[in-house]
Chains A and B, each alone.
Chain A
Amino acid sequence: MVQVLFIFIPIIAAIFIPVLFKKVRGIHTGWFVLIVPVVLAAIYASYISRVMHGEAIVSKVNWVPSLDISFISYIDGLSLLFSLLITGIGALVVLYSIFYLDRTREQLHNFYVYLLMFMSAMLGVVQSDHLISLYLFWELTSISSFLLIGYWYDRDRSRFGALKSMMITVFGGLMMLGGFILLSIMGGTYSIRELIAQAPTLATHDWFTLSLVLILLGAFTKSAQFPFYIWLPDAMEAPTPVSAYLHSATMVKAGIYLVARLTPIYASSETWVWLVMGVGLFTLFWGSFFAVKQTDLKGILAFSTVSQLGLIMSLLGAGAVAFHVDQAQDTVFKFAAFAAIFHLINHATFKGSLFMIAGIVDHETGTRDIRKLGGLMSLMPISFTVAAIGSFSMAGIPPFNGFLSKEMFLTSMLAIKDFNLFAMDTWGAIFPIVAWIASVFTFVYSFYFVFKTFTGKYKPELLPKKAHEAPIGMLISPIILASLVLIIFFIPNIIGDVFVKPAVLAIQPFLYDSVSAIPIHVSAWHGFNTELFMTIGIFVVGFLLFLTIPKWQKLYNIVPDWLSLNRLYDRFMTFLDKDLNFISKLYMTGSIRNYLVYMFSFIVVITISTLFVKDAFSFSMEGTAPIHVYEIILILVLIISTMTVLFSKSRLTAIIALGAVGYSVALFFVIFNAPDLALTQLVIETVSVALFLLAFYHLPKLSRHEERIRFRLNNFIISLGVGVMVTLVALSAQSQKLVPSITEYYKETVNTLAGGGNIVNVILVDYRGFDTLFEITVLSIAGMAILGMIQLRLSRKENEHENK
């Protein structure tokens, strides 16, 4: 119970933020916000001692018990690691944002409310054991990301980027929901744990592969895998703390989390291994290759994030291979899952610090354009040191943590070519080669990022601001992250035992009995093996390529712009907006007559054809009341007055005739003993005749040259059809009673259950209260619409008048 509430602490805290922002102007709102992630990080840290031994802590709160939907917080190694990342990096990012966002100029209340909302959502994603609530939180992260990217909503690019990320991730989310539903139908439960327990039976189900592909679509869009990565570079319009938090350390890893979490269910599938590993590896290459093309500091980091996410994804795919090998814990295949989680931690540390440095450079020089930057090393020595540590770790150079996970990555990729299922023995050799090329480019863009910014010629004339070192408050967070980069290199096995192995146990529960049974030991020195030679090759080739960037950067211009994925997205959006609008306008003419024609003809066709297809028409005179002379007279009056409405030449006559129609219907109700209906009909007629008289003055005169109403065949057929339909349905309904009349039930219960006497009215307010509720809602909407239409018309008239 309490554990579930922890998820909601940030979103509850968010309620107070606007008040604090408005009332306490003297203190930066961020300081209040900072309490939340710090406290949560401390709470989750207290779980470590239990979870690191493989224990899982579960807590449940019912949400919609009738639909079996509940919030289940399930904390095992994987969830805890992510929860700590979310709260830990969250705390650092909030601290950083206090100095990044000006308290007098920025709308901090918006910013922190969105940020806290995201924190809750993300904690929910990684802790939910229930597929539906997981989906709910998943979409909530998309929404908060949308709001945060569009935080500076007066900028075009911000709104564009926000919409783009929303379109792509929500598309993926909806696909994923489909996958979740299929999965829950197959397994008969929404609980991920229970689904994992029945994984072998699920694999034989027909929908298994379909649900797999749908869920992967969700994971790939969220984690910016090829070809869905295009939203991530545009998301860089968000304030830098957001980019550091959502778009590198946490939200984009939700897809990774999902793949890791569902690996026990899907790893047995060949499609899964190929898709996850193939897409991941291709994204790794694609992202690293195009990172060098970018000129925006954050653009480089965005592509680098795309590529690193691909790396982790491909490792998870390779980790799934272990399910297909006997005694995998003794083979070289065991490393992949460990490397994935290990690299995930490392990536959060070095990429977080790099984003913060990019923000600092932007903040202190006024530009992020790498062509204008240079020579900042002497002006910003601390930032340079942090940036260098981060970049070297990203490039995989010792003594930084990136080196360790990069080595394990190469080991895992080399292992793939020894795997002899799924045609891997023929294609497997591609994997280490692509991995190696991608690593070379990773090396190049890491150096490109740090050396183009901090070394070379200082160009003060190009910079909007005079460059200087950032305030210490802004540097604290990147320094902490950079020191973690170093520390992790020296204590990889402590990190491994405490965080990585419990998470690996969650990914590969079938391989190991307990955390201590995972036989992996990380060491910096493996001796002279293939991985080491590959790394040395990466350094040499990468360094050469870095030196010659200006010579080969032109390569990027070979592919024409209109072929790019971004253009495809743009064209799709224009299609949605303009072309579909065009199609709608073909039939949405704005004329009510046309709409009535559509509606009536549709109703007539549907109803009459149903009557005939189902052979439902029947006619019998049984049980009908005798026809009196009054009724015949009334009907004649009714017909005559209706005709008068149609053919009258003056509007006044038409109104009076229409009133006659209404009153004769009311008389029918009187004859048939329906006092309620009669009363209502009479009053309605009175009011509407009065309304007509009121509006009469304003109505246009019936035009003279339209004395004879032209005969329109279409309208004639349709009106005839409607008449025939109503008659047929009424006769059939009267002639055959398929079910016993509900009247008896009403008679019996009107006093005992409903405490009333007049059935008609009790039906309105009690038995069928929903109908009445919606009716009065519709009525109100209609009233407001009329008011709005007339007032709008008035104001337009006034404007026209002013313009003259």
Chain B
Amino acid sequence: MKTNDVILKTTSHVVFFIIFLFSIHVFLAGHFAPGGGFVGGLLTSSAIVLLLLVYDIKTVQKLLPINYTIMTASGLVLALGTASIGMFMGKPFFKHYFDHFYLPLIGDTELHTAMLFDTGVYLVVVGVTLTIIQSIGGDD
């Protein structure tokens, strides 16, 4: 049913990476500027959705052989695991830790356990969105 749309295909190669890299930026920027795991995850999904629109589901699955169900589950585990770190230190559930580090190339950076939690959110959002889209779109 897909028409062979050359223009769309060609541009999508570039646009996909632009959206994807932007989504990573938005995701990482989240703690200080607009962004975060939710938006980042949605943007990544929309990048993949673009591919889905251009190609069919089978091709995209070949390009990105990711099991989104497992992605969702690992995201949940990561989020829950990060939240429970505090419990092992005798602190309440969901206690976050952060500090500043000097990283090569990047410079002074704040590392925060909330980042790990946000990664969990990111994975869940991408996983769920694409699980839904794939299962509905792939249902012939």
Contacts and interface: CB of A to CB of B under 8 A. Distances in A.
Nearest to A781: B128
Given A758-B31, A780-B128, A690 B46 contact: yes
B76 A761 contact: no
A487 interface: no
Contact of A773 (B32, B36, B83): B83
A776 B75 contact: yes
Interface of A: 675-676, 679-680, 683-684, 686-687, 690-691, 693-695, 697-698, 754-758, 760-762, 764-766, 769-770, 772-773, 776-777, 779-780, 782-784, 786-787, 790-791, 793-794
A569 B112 CA distance: 59
A761 B46 CA distance: 20
Interface hub of B32, B39, B43, B76 (most chain A Cβ within 10 A): B39
A757 B75 contact: no
B24 interface: no
A766 B96 contact: yes
B118 to A, nearest CB: 5
Given A687-B45, A687-B129, A690-B49, A676 B112 contact: no
Contact of A787 (B43, B114, B135): B135
B133 A780 contact: no
A773 B79 contact: yes
B131 A766 contact: no
A787 to B, nearest CB: 5
Contact of B137 (A694, A758, A766): A694
A490 B76 CA distance: 67
Interface in B56-110: 69, 72-73, 75-76, 79-80, 83, 94, 96, 98, 110
29 contacts: A675-B34, A679-B26, A680-B42, A683-B46, A687-B45, A690-B53, A694-B52, A694-B133, A695-B137, A697-B1, A698-B139, A754-B96, A755-B110, A756-B112, A764-B38, A765-B31, A765-B114, A765-B121, A766-B96, A769-B96, A772-B117, A773-B79, A773-B94, A780-B73, A783-B127, A783-B132, A787-B131, A790-B136, A790-B139
The 4 closest A-B pairs by CB, nearest first: A757-B32, A783-B128, A755-B98, A694-B137
B112 A755 contact: yes
Contacts of B1: 697
A618 to B, nearest CB: 34
B27 to A, nearest CB: 10
A755 B111 CA distance: 9
Contacts of A698: 136, 139
A691 B49 contact: yes
B135 A779 contact: no
B42 A687 contact: yes
A758 B33 contact: yes
Contact of B135 (A676, A693, A790): A790
A758 B136 contact: no
A773 B127 CA distance: 15
A779 B137 contact: no
Contacts of A787: 69, 131-132, 135
Given A690-B49, A783-B132, A684 B42 contact: yes
A758 B30 contact: yes
Contacts of B80: 773
B110 A686 contact: no
Interface of B: 1, 26, 30-39, 42-43, 45-46, 49-50, 52-53, 69, 72-73, 75-76, 79-80, 83, 94, 96, 98, 110, 112, 114, 117-118, 120-121, 124-125, 127-129, 131-133, 135-137, 139
Contacts of B79: 772-773, 776
A780 B53 contact: no
Nearest to A697: B1
A372 B52 CA distance: 74
Given A697-B1, A761-B36, A780-B76, 19 more contacts: A683-B46, A684-B42, A690-B49, A690-B133, A693-B53, A694-B49, A758-B32, A764-B36, A765-B31, A769-B114, A773-B79, A773-B94, A776-B76, A780-B127, A780-B128, A782-B132, A787-B131, A791-B135, A793-B139
A365 B43 CA distance: 73
Contacts of B120: 776
Contacts of A780: 72-73, 75-76, 124, 127-128
Contacts of A686: 46, 49
Contacts of A694: 49, 52-53, 133, 136-137
Contacts of A769: 83, 94, 96, 114, 117
B131 A783 contact: yes
B136 to A, nearest CB: 5
Given A680-B39, A758-B30, A780-B76, A691 B128 contact: no
Given A691-B132, A691-B133, A756 B31 contact: yes
Contacts of A697: 1
A670 to B, nearest CB: 11
B106 to A, nearest CB: 17
Contacts of B131: 783-784, 786-787
A779 B125 contact: yes
Nearest to B42: A683
B45 A764 contact: no
A755 B32 CA distance: 9
Contact of B114 (A756, A784, A791): A756
A653 B50 CA distance: 21
Given A780-B73, A790-B136, A765 B118 contact: yes
Nearest to B31: A756
B83 A784 contact: no
Nearest to B1: A697
A790 B140 CA distance: 10
Nearest to A793: B139
Nearest to B93: A770
Given A697-B1, A758-B32, A776-B76, A786 B139 contact: no
B101 to A, nearest CB: 12
Contacts of B45: 687
A600 B96 CA distance: 38
A258 B50 CA distance: 68
Contact of A786 (B53, B75, B125, B132): B132
B9 to A, nearest CB: 16
A765 B36 contact: yes
A760 B34 contact: yes
A690 B31 CA distance: 29
A67 to B, nearest CB: 15
A451 B139 CA distance: 72
A780 B76 CA distance: 8
A791 B134 CA distance: 11
A679 B35 CA distance: 8
Contacts of A765: 30-31, 36-37, 96, 114, 117-118, 121
A683 B133 contact: no
